[in-house]
Amino acid sequence: MRVVLTGGGTGGHIYPAVAIARQIEADIPGTEFLYIGGKRGLESTLIPKENIPFESIDITGFRRKLSFDNVKTVMRFVKGVQTSKKLLQQFKPDIVIGTGGYVCGPVVYAASKLGIPTMIHEQNAIPGLTNKFLSRYVDTVAVSFEGSESSFPKARRVIYTGNPRATTVRLASSERGFASLGLPVNSQVVLVVGGSRGAKAINDAMIDMAPHLARLNRIQFVYVTGEGYYEKTKEQIREVLGGIPNHLHVLPYVHNMPEVLASTSLIVNRAGASFLAEITSLGIPSILIPSPNVTNNHQEANARTLEKRGAAEVILEKNLSGETLFAAIEKIMTDPQRQIQMSNESRKLGKPDSAQLIVEEIRRLTKSSL
């Protein structure tokens, strides 16, 4: 089988595509891949590292305000469709799969016009502009959140699969996670992380919260600051506490996040869709601080989905402080019954078989060519 993957701009669009590729490799050996991404997007550096052949097109997203830049974007879209058609005609895929981000717009649209089976995956509770547009042309829309099927009223077929990143983490080793942190197996771990690049508001709360941690000194706190914030955050904590206590671990980045997640008792994080898929796959209770700087405020919608089910607490960034964050952590970590309940509800929301469900749909769409 031959598969074209497309999507990009952020890891939230790229990593689900990689998860789909890995599941296809496992279920349909011998599959050949081509990834079509943007010249400026993160995918241009991440995908080659995954040993997936990569081609790029020149495309930018629409501005939500009236702007001459949107005229340029339309011109780039038209040219992107033309370039995509040439790439698709050369590669001759059995299916084209888009995972969001403006780059997949011209690629998936071109595939639909060429009569190639098409599928898109929407990670967020509120769909992105590109996937809303493409839903009218593709054969199948896969959604990550149950109940969000109604967001695509003009789609031919919509299925609830969950996010394929859930499949990536489901077999992660907690023992390796503890070992990588230098902690005894079965330690109680609170992981505080602001995303791969960090978040200033969360790092500020980490610093303000540090003096309170002595009240929970049997719990291991892991602060992941993001490399850009690491030195400053660690130095400020040293100044506040006169050093770094043994139960506080300040790290710039975590390269084995699935394993660290598997060893985590409670996580404090943003509410990106892929990350929520990972924590629900493992049944981790969470305190979510949605980023206010995202399109359509979709992170809050993602977070509220978990909150409504009792799997998470939500703190809006405008209400975030060291005191509010520590109070929320303390309330959960001193109530074992609540931890169990939140974990159970989190696991109910998880879809560890997400990638397999997507492959099943791929088989259905390509049955005539397999």
The pair of three-digit structure tokens given for residue 256, joined into one six-digit string: 């084995």
Residue 160 one-letter amino acid: Y
User: Could you tell me where the DSSP H helices lie in the chain?
Assistant: 11-27, 43-49, 68-91, 104-113, 129-134, 165-169, 174-181, 200-209, 230-241, 257-262, 273-282, 298-308, 322-333, 336-349, 354-365
20: CB partners within 8 A, 6+ apart: 5, 97, 99, 121, 164, 355, 358, 359
Which residues pair with residue 141 across a beta bridge? 120, 158
Instruction: Specify whether the CB–CB gap between 51 and 35 falls below 8 A.
Output: no
Instruction: Give the whole-angstrom CA distance, residue 190 versus residue 298.
Output: 25
In whole angstroms, give the CA distance from residue 133 to residue 126.
13
H-helix or E-strand containing 147? none
Closest to 286 in 3D by CA, of 312, 317, 260: 312
- Is residue 11 a known part of a binding site? yes
**What are the distances in angstroms from CA 250 to CA 177, 189, 192, 218, 260?**
15, 13, 10, 17, 14
Q: Is 80 annotated as a binding residue?
A: no
Question: Per the annotation, does 12 bind a ligand?
Answer: yes
Element (H, E) at 158: strand 158-160
Measured distance CA(104)–CA(98) in Å, rounded: 6
Does 272 carry a binding-site annotation? no
Residue 291 is assigned to a ligand binding site = no
Neighbours of 89 (CB within 10 A): 12
299 is in an annotated binding site: yes
Radius of gyration of the chain (CA): 21
Annotated binding site for UDP-N-acetyl-alpha-D-glucosamine: 10-12, 124, 196, 299
Annotated binding site: 10-12, 124, 196, 299
